[in-house]
Structures are given as C-alpha cells and as structure tokens.
C-alpha cells in the first residue's frame, strides 16, 4: 500500500525555521512528480512547492526565497526547508505525488496528484 508520511511540523515563532519530511513507501520518488501543499483553516488548499521528475521546481510566490523543496532518493524522502516563517504560513502541510512528470500547466494546482499524505501541522506565532 502506498504511503506518504509527513513529519517535522510544529509551533515556532515568526522568523523561525522548520524542515518537513515526507517518507514514501511502495514507489520511488525519483520517477514521480512530488510536491508540498498546505491548507489553512477556512481556506482552500494551495500549492507550496513542487519538484518535477527531471528536477525542475516551482514555488508559490508567497514562499519564494524562504522555502526550499528537495529530495533524497536514497532515503525515498521529500523535504521542505522553511525559513523566515511568517504567521500566514500557519497551515496543515501535505505531501503529494504524481507518477511521472507533473501534469498540466499549473503544477501547484495539485489536480494531477494521485497520492496524498495525512499532513503535518505548522503553527507560526507572531
């Protein structure tokens, strides 16, 4: 059974950092489109960062320069390094995967993602 298990969330003060991890089982992330998405209470889900099968990345404008998506294929783990966190980054963060290349023009939409984790919460206080 495919599993995506996120960890690393928590509570931090504004300006702090967190690193989220997503451990994947049953498929190799090196041949998948992988991404991080988030959903704040009362808001729609939004794409945060995506890494395509060929290594190309895309970031939401709101996190550019602060967040970095990366992956360790040997550990089959996806990461999201989050620096200079702001209260508006508070949300549940989800890892997602799509076989092959990211589909569609808007990788950050998440519509092509076939597998999703259960999420890890991030709270940033001012």
Position 105 pLDDT exceeds 90: no
pLDDT score of 36: 98
pLDDT tier for residue 38 given thresholds of 50, 70 and 90: very high
Three-state secondary-structure class, residue 88: helix
Q: How far apart (Å, rounded) are the C-alpha atoms in residues 72 and 123?
A: 26
Q: How far apart (Å, rounded) are the C-alpha atoms in residues 24 and 119?
A: 13
Contact 22, 78 (CB under 8 A): yes
Position 94 pLDDT exceeds 90: yes
pLDDT score of 104: 80
Half-sphere exposure of 94 (CA within 13 A, CB side): 19
pLDDT tier for residue 109 given thresholds of 50, 70 and 90: very high
Q: List Cβ neighbours of 55 (8 Å cut-off, separation of 6 or more).
A: none
Residues 2-33: tens digit of each pLDDT: 999 999 999 999 999 999 999 999 999 999 99
pLDDT score of 86: 98
When pLDDT is averaged across residues 69-81 and rounded to a whole number, the result is: 97
Structure tokens at 65: 């320069």
End-to-end Cα separation, the chain, in angstroms = 40
Q: List Cβ neighbours of 37 (8 Å cut-off, separation of 6 or more).
A: 45, 46, 47, 48, 93, 94, 96, 110, 113
Average pLDDT, the chain: 96
């Amino acid at each position: 059974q495919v599993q995506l298990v996120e960890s690393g969330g928590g509570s931090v003060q504004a300006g702090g950092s967190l690193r989220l991890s997503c451990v994947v089982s049953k498929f190799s992330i090196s041949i998948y489109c992988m991404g991080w998405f988030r959903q704040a209470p009362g808001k729609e889900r939004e794409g945060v960062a995506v890494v395509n099968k060929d290594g190309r990345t895309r970031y939401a404008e709101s996190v550019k320069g602060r967040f970095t998506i990366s992956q360790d294929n040997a550990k089959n783990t996806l990461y999201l390094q989050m620096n200079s966190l702001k209260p508006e980054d508070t949300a549940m963060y989800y890892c997602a995967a799509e076989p092959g290349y990211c589909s569609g023009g808007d990788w950050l939409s998440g519509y092509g993602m076939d597998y999703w984790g259960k999420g890890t919460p991030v709270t940033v206080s001012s």
